[in-house]
């Protein structure tokens, strides 16, 4: 499934800021947010009319097809964790989280029973790991004196991976932007596996002082630092004894709204039909009665009468699911202009 902001949240926020910068839309902002306080001081110009677009994308198969785990092809420790937990034994891991169930739970089938897979933190462990940081020296053709160095491709595999990650942190220092969360740690790369440490040349006392990667020379800096790492205990709980029962569990967990064609007005059905098309369905504020009704059913009232510039950030990172006449759809909401941007 650091913290990053999802693309949809950025788009929604950017759209709201741009909306606030259009002097001709001040009344619309007051209507949409219910407050003059939502109007910022931005002065940028926006061409085209802002619309809130709803898009529905049909999800093939059942929810079980997307959330039930097949242990074949997964890391061996997941299978070991599951077998131990089902047998009533305690299985713990350090650093890695069993079943990769950080954001959404996973499910598995065993002997006709479906289980929910997860984990809980039961402690911490103090560890010392080497940390590789790189400091940019420059391109060889820019330097008066090129220091002795080793090319990344001439290093062991563990070091090649470390250099690739650490160079991202070096590249980002002093520049606008960021680094991949979950890869870069403490401004560099942390060697956590014993095999990687034993294989490494960069960590040795006689290792190279500089490396070359992508046309630049980097100075190598290595330190050994203390980490406090979580200890996870695998958790496996039975939740269903049949596919139908499991599907009911997953609907309760993941489906945010349900539409039944017979309960909808003609305008609402037409709106949702357009939302399933390639271009989706959009309206500018003030929204029609049908669109307001659909947004309420989707539990997105903030787009109707909330502070849009603030509440747009409340959207979940993963796509939301609706059930429409027995079929599952992922839905997205975003602000667009007439040109679709």
Sign of the four-CA dihedral 21, 27, 33, 38: positive
pLDDT in tens, the chain (341 residues): 333 333 334 334 443 333 333 333 333 333 333 333 332 222 222 345 778 889 999 988 899 988 888 877 777 888 899 999 999 999 999 878 888 766 677 899 999 999 999 899 999 999 999 999 999 999 988 888 889 999 999 999 999 999 999 999 998 886 656 777 778 999 999 999 999 999 999 999 899 999 999 999 999 999 999 999 999 999 999 999 999 999 999 999 889 899 988 899 999 999 999 999 888 999 888 889 999 999 998 888 878 865 555 544 444 445 689 999 889 999 888 888 765 45
Cα distance between residue 312 and residue 10, in whole Å: 9
User: What pLDDT was estimated at residue 179?
Assistant: 73
In angstroms, the CA 166 to CA 134 distance is 6
- In the Cβ-directed half-sphere of 309, how many Cα atoms lie within 13 Å? 20
How far apart CA 13 and CA 314 sit, in angstroms, is 10
User: Cα separation of 250 and 80, whole Å?
Assistant: 25
ω before 286 within 30° of 0 (cis)?
A: yes
**C-beta of residue 12 within 8 angstroms of C-beta of residue 333:** yes
Read off the tokens for 132. Answer: 């590789």
Contact 20, 42 (CB under 8 A): yes
Q: Residue ranges per domain, the chain?
A: 7-62+251-336, 64-125+230-240, 128-223
Other Cβ atoms within 10 Å of 316 Cβ, number: 11
Please give the structure tokens belonging to residue 157: 């595999």
- The strand ranges marked E within the chain are 51-59, 92-94, 106-110, 113-138, 150-151, 189-190, 210-213, 216-240, 255-259, 281-283, 320-324, 327-336
Tokens of 160: 């090649």
> With contact defined as beta carbons under 8 Å apart, do 82 and 57 qualify?
no
Closest listed residue to residue 170, CA positions, set 156, 185, 187, 153: 187
**If you ran DSSP here, which 8-state letter would residue 75 be given?**
-
Burial class (CB within 10 angstroms; exposed 0-12, middle 13-18, buried 19+) of 280: buried
Provide the whole-model pTM: 0.64
Backbone phi, psi, residue 155, to 5°: -95, 160
Pairwise CA distance, residues 161 & 275, whole Å: 44
Q: Give me the torsion for CA of 5, 10, 16, 20, rounded to 10°.
A: 100
> Residue 85: enclosing H or E segment and its boundaries?
helix 76-86
Please state, in angstroms and rounded to a whole number, the distance separating the CA atoms of residues 81 and 69: 13
> How far, in Å, CA of 146 to CA of 215, rounded?
12
């Amino acid at each position: 499934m650091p913290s990053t902001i999802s693309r949809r949240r950025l788009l929604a926020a950017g759209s709201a800021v741009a909306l606030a910068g259009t002097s001709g839309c001040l009344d619309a902002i007051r209507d949409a947010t219910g407050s003059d306080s939502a109007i910022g001081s931005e002065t940028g110009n926006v061409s085209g009319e802002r619309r809130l677009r709803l898009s529905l994308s049909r999800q093939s198969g059942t929810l079980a097809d997307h959330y039930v785990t097949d242990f074949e092809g997964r890391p061996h420790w997941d299978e070991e964790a599951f077998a131990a937990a089902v047998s009533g034994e305690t299985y713990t891991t350090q650093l890695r989280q069993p079943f990769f169930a950080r954001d959404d739970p996973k499910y598995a089938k065993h002997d006709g029973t479906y289980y929910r897979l997860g984990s809980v933190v039961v402690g911490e462990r103090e560890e010392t790991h080497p940390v590789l940081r790189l400091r940019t020296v420059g391109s060889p053709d820019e330097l008066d004196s090129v220091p002795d160095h080793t090319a990344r491709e001439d290093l062991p595999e563990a070091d090649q991976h470390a250099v690739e990650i650490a160079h991202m942190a070096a590249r980002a220092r002093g520049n606008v932007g960021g680094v991949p969360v979950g890869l870069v740690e403490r401004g560099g790369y942390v060697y956590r596996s014993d095999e990687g440490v034993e294989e490494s040349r960069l960590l040795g006392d006689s290792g190279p002082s500089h490396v070359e990667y992508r046309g630049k020379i980097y100075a190598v800096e290595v330190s050994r630092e203390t980490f406090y790492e979580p200890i996870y205990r695998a958790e496996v709980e039975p939740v269903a004894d049949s596919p139908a029962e499991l599907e009911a569990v997953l609907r309760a967990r993941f489906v945010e709204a349900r539409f039944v064609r017979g309960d909808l007005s003609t305008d609402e059905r037409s709106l949702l039909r357009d939302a399933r098309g390639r271009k989706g369905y959009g309206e500018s504020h003030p929204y029609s009665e049908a669109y307001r009704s659909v947004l309420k059913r989707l539990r997105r009232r903030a787009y109707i009468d909330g502070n849009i510039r603030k509440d747009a950030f409340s959207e979940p990172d993963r796509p939301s699911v609706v059930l429409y006449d027995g079929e599952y759809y992922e839905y997205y909401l975003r602000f667009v202009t007439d040109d679709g941007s």
